[in-house]
């Protein structure tokens, strides 16, 4: 009998398998290798990587796997009895979803960083995990290095969360920061972000707000216990933000950020993602570059904010490893199979009439008499009013006008924008939310 | 047999007792009453307040306790078999420590918000709790409403924490914010804070940095696994901060904050609390009024920051209730008795030579030739150098001089201040750390 058996091999070790070995996967391997002792002192178990499955085993890797077998067939993980926890960092919806289901069915616990998957297919995977009494955790899926999901689940269990808002996409925050600090246009800032590796060659998911929307779907599940699909959200990206808007916002005391907001209004929930003018003394205004931050407003806790790197190899790997440690602790206590978020609550979506905010409008008006009067009429008829109205420039033919409204509903906003679109001599250049 | 028994009375309810019913205690009662359903949906148990022990039972209370018995003898809690979790919110070191020991010995789990107690007597209480396989949790003891302890314990288990810094005292941050924003002197800002209830009539513990030091002792235990006493810390309060320092800092791009810092330097740990010039683009610079924030720097996670109310009835009560829920979950899984922080690590304190920082000096020099030369000589002989040296004012007799150094060690700082103190024509008005 081998020595390791005598020392209680199957008792004291937890076998980990990896599905994918890209940037985050390599970071997870490094952290498990480097911090073995600290993890053992906390969990009472040794975490041992037993097997890695990748698409291309010949690709050079940045970590030394020693003699850990690297193969290409997920069945190798599914059927390896020495693997208890599988880390899915391969990305994609399919085949990742199918693989995770097979792993859960085979009795593995799963940790994933795959936000698209959790946002779109989370419900069925979570249900299967609970059914099989297996853990499924995904801290790294939202705001990379910020432990926001575990914090909402563990630290607000008795509080009524009123709002979760934040900067949850590092790429767009980097681009907006460059535009803001260096007077760059959107196109120039995007190009720079791509060169520096902060934006992908096809940046659509980031700049259109889709990535942020997926994260808000996951945050909404934790904060309000309800499941949404992408169609339930109002989503606007940053590709429509002009340098002029950013400068105008600056001169009024605001910073333009891509803000995701999920909030309760009279028992209904409203979720949106869009460019937003954030008052400079608001804690989200100072979140720069690729960093993320999530503001949680609790009826009891008040305003709390959690700030940190939104992505990056090691921050994301740290979140994955905190999940692995948490699963390990559950294995030790024999208490696996509870949903990562076990707060479920039936709630309806708020209507356009319920959801209120101040708005910034930028308009281009033909420089002929009566244009401002027409605009003011539209506002009055919609029962909307403005705090500030300024003509910012005029070239003789066209005048540029900026307006900040008092709080209006989404329904009023839609009426105003539709009516302005019908005006023969006016063009609406931007309409962004304002966060005081 | 009563109906409740048939429905599984002892199975499905968890009995809670309160020791103390002041501001925080009343908040805990309100939260347990108001959010019963959410807590039950998460824990699978009903939390029921069974008994309250207070010093003066006739004092009017802001919460309706219904027919919950209120008595004055802690023995009533100790011997009540229906109470499993006791919330200690009476304050004081003694008799609180003795009571908590008796409660743990009697098999109760304990949740406390008492930072002085945990900082000074935490070790023996934690040891007793682990010995008796009972939970002892104290999230509310640091930074009131910010779930920082649970976050460090749960979300950085595999990371190597390099530094924990923060604004952990709301009273002093409120005073410094008033001085900064309203050009108030320290004395005037303190008076206002007292009138608004942000400072106590005897503000010593807050303004001298003692309260912040206790919190740094607890944070150090979580971040570095080591136990310190107050004597191990370098502590300076805000009562020496002049409005002139605040204005001077502003003009140089800094905000003066009371910062607690615990950091690792080559395997040794250095902990200090003192007024600090924080660069305006540092995330801690924007933390205003009574808010707190803790910056955690992890080797993997990078810079993360946790921001929120540092005190207040409901934020603090929310932290207490999150502990109660956590203990309840441990009772359900049968896995109680693990220390709240189970990271322990032998580490030495850093020496004065190891601990380096930039410093701000404010000096008053007799306006006679050669004074600046003398000062420069002291710096040169100490192998210190400065980034900036400015004469800020002169009344003919005295010149005021401000200096910001490059990084120097605490040993160099002490040499410089001792030598300046010996100069016949110079007075050192302030020497504060600088955080870039």
Q: Does A347 touch chain B (CB under 8 A)?
A: no
Tokens of B62: 């802001």
Residue B322 lies in a domain: yes
Chain A interface includes B298 (CB < 8 A): yes
pLDDT computed for residue A9 by the predictor: 42
Q: Which residue of B has its CA nearest to A29?
A: B158
Find the domain containing A370 and state its range.
Answer: 356-435
The answer to whether residues B13 and B133 belong to one domain is yes
Chain A residues whose CB is inside 8 A of the B332 CB are: 335
Cβ–Cβ contacts within 10 Å for residue B68, how many? 16
- Contacts A181 to B, Cβ<8 Å: none
For residues A202 and A53, state if they share a domain.
no
CA distance B60 to A22: 62
Residue A165 sits at the chain B interface (C-beta within 8 Å): no
Annotated binding-site residue? A19: yes
Q: How far is B154 from chain A (nearest CA, A)?
A: 7
Q: What pLDDT, on a 0 to 100 scale, did the predictor assign at position A341?
A: 85
- How many domains is chain B partitioned into structurally? 3
CA distance A98 to chain B (A): 28
For residue B61, being part of any structural domain is answered with yes
Contact: B41, A342; criterion CB under 8 Å: yes
What's the CATH code of the domain at A370? Answer: 3.30.70.260
Interface check for A318 against chain B (CB to CB < 8 A): the answer is yes
- Residues of chain A with pLDDT below 70 are 1-11
* A23 annotated as ligand-binding: yes
Domain membership of residue B112 (yes or no) is: yes
Same domain, B19 and B127: yes
CA A20 – CA A30 distance, rounded (Å):
14
* Mean pLDDT (chain B, rounded): 92
Q: What is the CATH number of the domain that holds A219?
A: 3.30.360.10
In degrees and rounded to multiples of 5, residue B338 shows phi and psi of -85, 135
What lies within 8 Å, CB to CB, of A430 at 6+ separation is A240, A241, A242, A245, A275, A360, A361, A362
Name the residue facing A335 among B35, B283, B333 (closest C-beta): B333
Taking an 8 Å cut-off on Cβ atoms, the answer to whether A308 and B305 are in contact is yes
Q: What's the pLDDT score for residue B105?
A: 98
Residues of chain B found within 8 Å of residue A38, distances taken between Cβ atoms: 157-158, 160, 343
Residue A341 domain-assigned (yes or no)? no
A308 vs B: CB within 8 A: yes
- Asked whether the beta carbons of residue A307 and residue B302 sit closer than 8 angstroms, the reply is no
pLDDT exceeding 90 applies to what percent of chain B?
78
* Residues of chain B found within 8 Å of residue A305, distances taken between Cβ atoms: 305-308
Q: How far is A192 from chain B (nearest CA, A)?
A: 22
Residues placed in the known binding site of B for L-homoserine? 200
Give the integer Cα–Cα distance in Å for A271 and A264: 9
**What is the predicted ipTM?**
0.86
- How close B414 comes to chain A (CA, Å)? 35
Please report the pLDDT score of residue A43 as a whole number: 86
Are residue B229 and residue B136 in the same domain, yes or no?
no
Of A42, A286, A303, the CB nearest to B343: A42
B27 interfaces chain A, CB cutoff of 8 Å: yes
B/e letters for A133-150, b = 16+ CB within 10 Å, e = fewer, are ebbbbbbbbbbbbbbbbb
Q: What is the pLDDT of residue A132?
A: 96
Q: What are φ and ψ of residue A363, in 5° steps?
A: -130, 150
As annotated, the active-site residues of A are: 215
Q: Are residues A116 and A98 in the same domain?
A: yes
In this complex, the residue of B158, B281, B315 whose CB is nearest that of residue A300 is B315
- What pLDDT score does A84 carry? 97
| Residues A120 and A8 placed together within one structural domain of the fold | yes
Q: How confident is the model at residue B8 (pLDDT cuts 50, 70, 90)?
A: very low
In a domain, A384, yes or no: yes
pLDDT attached to residue B32: 94
Please tell me which residue, A82 or B8, carries the higher pLDDT value: A82
As given in the structure block, the two tokens for residue A219 are: 């945050």
**Looking at the partner chain, which of A158, A314, A334 has a beta carbon nearest the beta carbon of B300?**
A314
Residue A111 sits in a domain whose CATH number is 3.40.50.720
| B321 in the same domain as B384 | no
Partner residue opposite B308 with nearest CB, options A139, A303, A332: A303
Sign of CA dihedral B169, B174, B180, B186: negative
Q: Residue A340: inside a domain, yes or no?
A: no
CB of B238 within 8 Å of any CB in chain A? no
Residues B204 and B83 in one domain: no
Together in a domain, A154 and A209:
yes
Specify whether A176 is located in the same domain as A258: yes
How far, in Å, CA of B96 to CA of B22, rounded? 15
Query: In terms of domains, do A46 and A155 share one?
Result: no
Residue A338 lies in a domain: no
- B293 and B379 co-located in one domain: no
Q: Does B42 reach chain A within 8 Å, measured CB to CB? A: yes
Residue B345 lies in a domain: no
């Amino acid at each position: 009998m081998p020595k390791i058996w005598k020392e209680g091999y199957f008792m004291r070790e937890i076998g980990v398998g990896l599905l994918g070995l890209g940037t985050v996967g390599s970071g997870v391997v490094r952290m498990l290798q480097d911090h073995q002792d600290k993890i053992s002192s906390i969990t009472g178990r040794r975490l041992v990587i037993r097997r890695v499955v990748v698409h291309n085993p010949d690709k050079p890797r940045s970590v030394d796997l020693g003699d850990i077998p690297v193969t290409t067939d997920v069945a190798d993980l599914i059927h390896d009895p020495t693997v208890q926890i599988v880390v899915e960092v391969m990305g994609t919806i399919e085949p990742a979803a199918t693989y995770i289901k097979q792993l859960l069915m085979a009795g593995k616990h799963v940790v994933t960083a795959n936000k698209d998957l959790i946002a779109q297919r989370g419900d069925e995977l979570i249900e299967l995990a609970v059914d099989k009494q297996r853990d499924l955790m995904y801290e790294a899926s939202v705001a990379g290095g910020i432990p926001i999901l575990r914090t909402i689940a563990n630290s607000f269990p008795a509080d009524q969360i009123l709002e979760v808002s934040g900067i949850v996409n590092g790429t767009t925050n980097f681009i907006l920061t460059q535009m803001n600090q260096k007077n760059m246009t959107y196109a120039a800032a995007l190009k720079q972000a791509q060169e520096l590796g902060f934006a992908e060659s096809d940046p659509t998911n980031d700049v259109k707000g889709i990535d942020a929307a997926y994260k808000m779907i996951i945050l909404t599940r934790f904060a309000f216990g309800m499941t949404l699909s992408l169609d339930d959200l109002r989503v606007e990206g940053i590709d429509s933000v002009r340098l002029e808007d950013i400068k105008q916002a600056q001169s009024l005391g605001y910073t333009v950020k891509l803000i995701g907001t999920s909030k309760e209004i009279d028992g209904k929930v409203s979720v949106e993602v869009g460019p937003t003018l954030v008052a400079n003394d608001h804690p989200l205004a100072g979140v720069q570059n690729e960093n993320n931050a999530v503001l949680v407003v609790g009826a009891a806790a008040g305003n709390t904010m959690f700030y940190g790197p939104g992505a990056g190899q090691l921050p994301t790997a740290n979140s994955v490893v905190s999940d692995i440690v948490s699963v390990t602790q559950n294995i030790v206590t024999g208490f696996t199979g509870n949903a990562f978020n076990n707060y479920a609550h039936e709630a309806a979506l708020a209507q356009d009439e319920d959801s209120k905010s101040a708005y910034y409008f930028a308009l281009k008006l033909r420089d002929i008499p009566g244009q401002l009067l027409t605009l003011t009429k539209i506002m009055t008829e919609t029962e909307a009013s403005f705090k500030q109205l300024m003509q910012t420039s005029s070239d003789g033919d066209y005048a540029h006008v900026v307006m900040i409204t008092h709080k209006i509903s989404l329904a009023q906003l839609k009426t105003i924008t539709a009516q302005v679109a019908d005006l023969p001599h006016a063009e609406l250049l931007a309409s962004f939310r304002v966060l005081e």
